[in-house]
Amino acid sequence: MSEAIIGETNPGAGYDKDKIQRFGSVIELDLEKEAYYRELHANVWAGVQAKIHECNMRNYNIFVAPIAGKKYLFSFFEYIGTDLEADMGKFPQDEETLRWWKETDPCQKSMEGTPEGEQWLGLERVFFQA
């Protein structure tokens, strides 16, 4: 993840006037592991929440939607920092985050078109209204 994906109909350098980058992404939810995934997120580990905050992510949301017999997770967050690459690089260095991913990753199925080394597929933003 190097910067927010801004579509042709909503051009920009990845920042809005408020200097916040906004990110959306999608991944398929493994239906057999949905209950466990929901349980994990109902009780997110304090260390994981602290790392998200430390890495300048705010208003982090994950939504679920049933589509054509499958379920998809849609995430959204705002990035308020100034060095996205450095902040995102902290996650794979954090032991508790790595343990968290060992629990959550098997509950997800990467989508076709997801870049190598990424778990979630970044979404292109086509509209924003503050």
Q: Which domain holds residue 28?
A: 5-10+24-125
Q: Distance between CA atoms of 121 and 95, rounded to whole angstroms?
A: 24
72, part of any domain: yes
Q: Distance between CA atoms of 117 and 114, rounded to whole angstroms?
A: 8
CATH number of the CATH domain containing 118? 3.30.70.100
Q: Is 97 helix (H, G, I), strand (E, B) or coil?
A: helix
pTM, two decimal places: 0.87
Query: Based on the structure, what is the number of domains in the chain?
Result: 1
| pLDDT tens digits, 76-109 | 999 999 999 999 999 999 999 999 999 999 999 9
17, part of any domain: no
pLDDT at 8: 60
Alpha helices (runs of H) in 13-128, residue ranges in sequence order: 34-42, 46-54, 84-89, 95-104
